[in-house]
Amino acid sequence: MKIIMLGAPGAGKGTQAKRIAAKYNVPHISTGDIFRANIKNNTELGQKAKAFMDKGELVPDSLVLDLIMDRFTEDDCKNGYVLDGFPRTIPQAEALSDALKANGEKVDFAINIDVPDENIINRMGGRRACVGCGATYHIQFNAPKVEGVCDACGEKLILRDDDKPETVKNRLNVYHTQTQPLIDFYEKAGVLVNIDGTQDMDKVFADIVKVLG
């Protein structure tokens, strides 16, 4: 079962990807994890990626795809995988589709966690991070026992810059411009599944399981 997760930043796709991976015993693969693993293990692909990252440049699509296709050859991917964070653009989606087709494979499901922008802005604006241990909270859904203080280490909680409304709006604009066209791409391919992401997390997961079987 080869699954791609789609959805705006803050839609909860990472959380659902982990749950899908655990239930169906397939790996949750994020591009960030692949980069870190290859750089840590000093692989040839990792060295190439690091050269771009050290200069503050984006890793080229072709190299990202090589890293991902290399990850798919590992034993834990034999029953499939949940891919999170790639593809982000139509050229990436087309390249992935071609690379899979060359191996006689294809994406089985593209799961789009659909959440309106205003919900995401409110959701992310309520997140708080501990300056000490990095623990995360939400003032509405997962509040600390004492307002502004971390339950775990007692340090202060802050609203991170990337969770501030103006930053979230910018991230959503980038998402709508670059990534939203993927929804049409996978709909045309006949593999798109739209899930209402405004529901309780357990209900979102239950809806996904209904589709996956």
Q: For 3-30, how does the pLDDT look when each residue is reduced to its tens digit (9 = 90+)?
A: 999 999 889 998 899 999 999 999 999 9
User: Which one is catalytic: 48, 50, 164, 171?
Assistant: 171
Q: Tell me, what CATH number does 79's domain have? A: 3.40.50.300
- What 3-state DSSP class applies to 203? helix
Tokens of 106: 């294809």
pLDDT the model gives residue 174: 87
* Range with the poorest average pLDDT among 65-79, 85-99, 140-154, 165-179: 165-179
User: Which one is catalytic: 160, 169, 203, 210?
Assistant: 160
Task: Provide DSSP, 115-155.
Answer: --HHHHHHHHHTEEEETTT--EEETTTB--SBTTB-TTT-P
Separation of alpha carbons 169 and 122, rounded Å: 11
Q: Taking residues 33-45, report their average pLDDT.
A: 93
160: annotated active-site residue: yes
Give the domain extent around 185.
2-27+74-115+177-212
pLDDT > 70: what percent of the chain? Answer: 100
- Domain assignment present for residue 122? The answer is no
How many domains does one find in the chain? 1
**pLDDT tops 90 at residue 199:** yes
Q: Taking residues 80-96, report their average pLDDT.
A: 95
Q: Taking residues 90-98, report their average pLDDT.
A: 96
- Domain assignment present for residue 110? The answer is yes
- Domain assignment present for residue 102? The answer is yes
**pLDDT tops 90 at residue 91:** yes
pLDDT > 90: what percent of the chain? Answer: 81
**pLDDT tops 90 at residue 187:** yes
171: annotated active-site residue: yes
- Domain assignment present for residue 55? The answer is no
Separation of alpha carbons 148 and 164, rounded Å: 16
- Domain assignment present for residue 51? The answer is no
User: Which one is catalytic: 18, 48, 50, 88?
Assistant: 88
In sequence order, what are the beta bridge partners of 68?
Answer: none
Q: How many CA atoms lie within 13 A of 84 on its CB side?
A: 23
User: Which one is catalytic: 2, 13, 71, 128?
Assistant: 13
Separation of alpha carbons 183 and 22, rounded Å: 25
Average pLDDT of the chain? 94
Tokens of 23: 């239930």
Helices (H), the chain: 13-24, 31-40, 44-54, 61-72, 90-102, 117-125, 165-174, 181-188, 201-212
**pLDDT tops 90 at residue 38:** yes
- Domain assignment present for residue 111? The answer is yes
**pLDDT tops 90 at residue 58:** no
- Domain assignment present for residue 54? The answer is no
Separation of alpha carbons 85 and 121, rounded Å: 20
**pLDDT tops 90 at residue 179:** no
Structural contact between residues 189 and 4, judged by C-beta atoms closer than 8 angstroms:
no
- Domain assignment present for residue 201? The answer is yes
36: annotated active-site residue: no
71: annotated active-site residue: no
Separation of alpha carbons 158 and 147, rounded Å: 11
With bands split at pLDDT 50, 70 and 90, how would you rate the model's confidence at 57?
confident
Angle at 27 between CA 88 and CA 101, to 5 degrees: 55
